[in-house]
Structure 1
Amino acid sequence: MLTTGGIVGSKDEISQIISHGFARCNGQSHGVGVYLSPTSFLLDRLESSRADENDLRHILLCKMITGKTEVIPAGSKQRYPSSGEFDSGVDNLEAPRRLVFWTAFMNSHILPDYILSFKAPSTTTLLINRMNEIRNLGFVRVSALHLTMVKFLGPAKGALISRLYDDYVKRKVTGVQLFQIVRRITGDDQLLIEIFKSSTNKRVGTSTKENLCSTGCC
């Protein structure tokens, strides 16, 4: 099967692939091989990429022969097809996010096609823009947000976020720092958005301290 996918990387990483091939971009989370992403998930990878000195981000689009694929479980150290009937691996058969090509097949099954270079907002800006869509639903009260985070993340992370917000109120951290640390604690931007949605209160409170979305961090 011939399909299209790609690699999101820095200018230097893409240049290394063009100059020296795919041997230097082996992944190891689902077996040891060359990892590419289907085109439908490339934008997800873009959010975690770093811009270069000209504020550009880069995607190397490739044509790939996936052939018959097999599922490679997370943590596997597999380096070759499990049998001669398989040509490549995936993390999930129904909705793969990782396409795994064994080192022995990388030169015959992957063809670099072209490079896309473009300017894109930072990951923080991307998420803040997505959060701004939620503002139309109302303000998020800290008490409601904390209870929801405990429900979604468990008491340990919920307590950590509560202490972090106390530091923000005491001006020990800025709004941007608060927002970025909460992202790291949550570990999943989509989950963070769901938490904000679940915590939204239509009734606007009177206390600035009680309204997280009125602090300027989202």
Structure 2
Amino acid sequence: MMNKNPEHPLSDTGSSVDRSRDSRDSCDSRKYSAFKLTHQLITLDESNSDCIHIKKLFSSALGPMSSHTQIKSVHKNSFSSHLAKARLQSFKIFSEAVAAKSGGDAAAAGANVKYAWFGGSKEQLHGIVEFGFSHCSIPYERNGYGHGLYMFPQNRLLDAIESSMFDEDGVRHVLLCRVILGKLEVVVPGSRQFHPSSGDFDSGVDTLENPNKYIVWSTNMHSHVLPEFVVSFKAPFLNGCLGFQEPVMKPKSPWMSFPALISMLAKYLPPNIVVEIEKFHAAYRAKRIARHQLVQHVRQLAGDRLLLSIIKSNRGKEMPKATRKCH
């Protein structure tokens, strides 16, 4: 059973594994289950205490928007494979090490373990649960907060949802993780930082008081983040329904084609990220993926801030009529 205080969950880390074979956690084929690709995730029954707690946490974080959101399922990482058990044990060891460095203990505030959200595609979250965050390709955002993994505090769930993607059933997915934050340092917009500025710090934030995002450096992605739950949901308000508009800017414009957009992105993104975007564009041109899937992938790789900045800068540069339609 999970700790009732999710801000200090470390003392119950082991219980998540011990209860993974509990009959109440068994897969229910009658329920929506998007994660049949991996045996690591099990579908929680609605009566399961973890499921109830995660649903409450999710709804509380959404606030008024929770009444317009339908939770389809909650999956839990069973940590059943040998590698998953090793990652769990590694997380405990690093928690204790960070706590000891700061003069505390892992069960107290020393390791500064928090819950944090991460949004992505179904395939991306599947890969994270199977292989960890270290295999992820993290694009550098010119106006971002350094080169690292951006995760969002419990009360910033909407920010994580902005990074999520629809699957083939119109369902979105977010990952709830435990994160070893340790001692935090403020990272300013536009920073090119990619590791702690000194041995005194462990992670970054945009502001120390009520942070909007946590920055886990690439050096710590595999050891300081533990994926625990996936929440799958439908949110009609993200489609412009119920009088609401999608809260993020999509990279589409009647006067900017995708080739032009990619050309601009190449000025700011690493070559390997641009190559990935070009692959998705080629897949779209070959009709292997839909346009909205291309848009979602470009948003995930480039980041909304950079896309919005590029589109705004080109808003007044009207192209010839023959090239107005996005390709």
TM-score interval, normalised by the smaller of the two chains = 0.5 to 0.7
Aligned residue pairs, count: 131
Kindly indicate which of the two structures has a greater share of residues assigned to strand: 1
- Find out whether 1:86 has 2:201 as its counterpart: yes
Looking at structure 2, the residues matched to 121 and 47 of structure 1 have their Cα atoms a distance apart, in angstroms, of 13
Q: CA deviation at 1:48?
A: 5.6
Identity of aligned residues (%): 43
Please give the per-residue CA displacement for 1:115-151, whole angstroms capped at 9, x wherever unaligned.
1112221524357248xxxxxxxxxxxxxxxxxxxxx
Where do 4+ consecutive residues of structure 1 move more than 3 Å?
none
Q: What residue is the counterpart of 2:124 in the other structure?
A: 13
**2:120–2:163 CA contact under 8 A, matched in 1:** no
Please give the per-residue CA displacement for 1:46-84, whole angstroms capped at 9, x wherever unaligned.
246331111111011000111110011111111111111
- Find out whether 1:40 has 2:155 as its counterpart: yes
Q: CA deviation at 1:36?
A: 0.8
Q: If you compute each CA radius of gyration, which structure gives the higher value, 1 or 2?
A: 1
Please give the per-residue CA displacement for 1:138-169, whole angstroms capped at 9, x wherever unaligned.
xxxxxxxxxxxxxxxxxxxxxxxxxxxxxxxx
Q: Relative contact order: is structure 1 or structure 2 higher (C-alpha 8 Å, sep ≥ 6)?
A: 1
Q: What residue is the counterpart of 2:320 in the other structure?
A: none
The structure 1 residue matched to 2:164, chosen from 45, 49, 56, is 49
Q: What residue is the counterpart of 2:191 in the other structure?
A: 76
Which ranges of structure 2 fall in alignment gaps of 5 or more residues? 1-111, 246-307, 309-327
TM-score in terms of structure 2 length: 0.37
The structure 2 residue matched to 1:65, chosen from 180, 183, 197, is 180
Looking at structure 2, the residues matched to 77 and 127 of structure 1 have their Cα atoms a distance apart, in angstroms, of 40
TM-score in terms of structure 1 length: 0.55
Q: Which amino acid aligns with 2:208?
A: L
**2:151–2:213 CA contact under 8 A, matched in 1:** yes
Q: Which amino acid aligns with 1:2?
A: V
Q: CA deviation at 1:42?
A: 1.3
> Which secondary structure state, in structure 1, belongs to the residue aligned with residue 240 of structure 2?
helix
Q: Give the 5 Å matches for 1:1-218.
A: 1-23=112-134, 24-28=136-140, 29-47=144-162, 49-125=164-240, 128-129=243-244
Please give the per-residue CA displacement for 1:72-126, whole angstroms capped at 9, x wherever unaligned.
1111111111111101001121122221111222222111111111222152435
Which ranges of structure 1 fall in alignment gaps of 5 or more residues? 131-186, 188-218
